[in-house]
Chains A and B, each alone.
Chain A
Amino acid sequence: MEVPILKQGPVLIATFQAALSDADLNQLRSALVQQVVRFRSRGVIVDVTAMDVMDSFASRTLREIAHIIRLRGAETVIVGIQPEVAFAMVQLGLTLEGVATALDLEEGLAYLNQKFKTMK
């Protein structure tokens, strides 16, 4: 199941569906990086609201995406981690250190817009 990526101005928005396999996550990573380059995007939002499990692989892939995109000069923010998913992640020791997170899509966009101002 491929993750759809929407382009909204300088921002790309990837919305996760529920049951993503490792292969889907790897596919998303390459697709996002390619599109950031293609559209010269300045920000990426990964919406994980629908994700019911964030295990070590998903968590590591998200961190890699954020770090790759930062090296490219753009910012990534992960939005919509569900409270119970966050609880399980902390128990597993997965903290997404060094990756920006926000409550939802709206807050994520606000965060990126703020970043864009300071980047100018």
Chain B
Amino acid sequence: MSRVEIRVTISSDQDIVLARQKGRSLALELGFSSGDATLIATAISELARNIVSYAGSGQIALKDLQGSSRVGISVTASDNGPGIPNINQALRDGFSTSGSLGLGLPGVRRLMDEFEIDSKPGQGTKVVVKKWRP
């Protein structure tokens, strides 16, 4: 069950900054340490950048996760861009098709606890990442 849902429309580099600031605030509100909040904000920054670089525009949705015995945060990055033709390749370190990007998805995966990706060519990309409070 989620109590909070924050949606940020991503269409420019300014929105990347906004999304990661909102993510950090929510993480701190949920009781994450400032170190974990930095990891979460960094992951959001990378996901939002992928949206701007590859799809042009999309959305970041931030939610709290209320488990029976634990609390976490979930970040969903979705777009209607070109999609990723080869997901396995995109999840390998050092892979980038735009040339201007960083390491992207494998790094985001390391920053968070759970990582799911759904992408089909021509149908956009959806990445859901979660981090649980220790």
- B35 contacts chain A at the CB level, 8 A cutoff: yes
**What residue of chain B has the Cβ atom nearest to residue A20's Cβ?**
B17
Residue among B102, B104, B108 facing the most chain A CB atoms (10 A cut-off) = B102
Contact A91 B39 (CB under 8 A): yes
User: Roughly how many angstroms separate A22 CA and B14 CA in the complex, as a whole number?
Assistant: 8
**What residue of chain B has the Cβ atom nearest to residue A90's Cβ?**
B110
CB contact under 8 A between A53 and B42, given known A19-B17, A21-B14, A93-B107: yes
A39-47, A56-64, A67-75: which lies at the interface: A56-64
- Which A residues lie within 8 Å of B42 (CB)? 53-55, 88-89, 91-92
Q: Which of A22, A23, A93 touches B93 (beta carbons < 8 Å)?
A: A93
Contact A19 B21 (CB under 8 A): yes
B13 to chain A, nearest CB (A): 4
User: Roughly how many angstroms separate A92 CA and B39 CA in the complex, as a whole number?
Assistant: 9
For A81-112 the 0/1 string (1 means CB < 8 A from B) is 01111011101111000000000000000000
| Interface of A, helix, strand, loop or mixed by DSSP | helix
- Which B residues lie within 8 Å of A2 (CB)? none
Contact B102 A94 (CB under 8 A): yes
CB contact under 8 A between A92 and B102, given known A21-B16, A22-B16, A53-B41: yes
Binding site for B on A (CB under 8 A): 19-23, 52-57, 59-60, 82-85, 87-89, 91-94
Binding site for A on B (CB under 8 A): 13-14, 16-17, 20-21, 24, 34-35, 38-39, 41-42, 45-46, 49, 93, 101-104, 106-108, 110-111
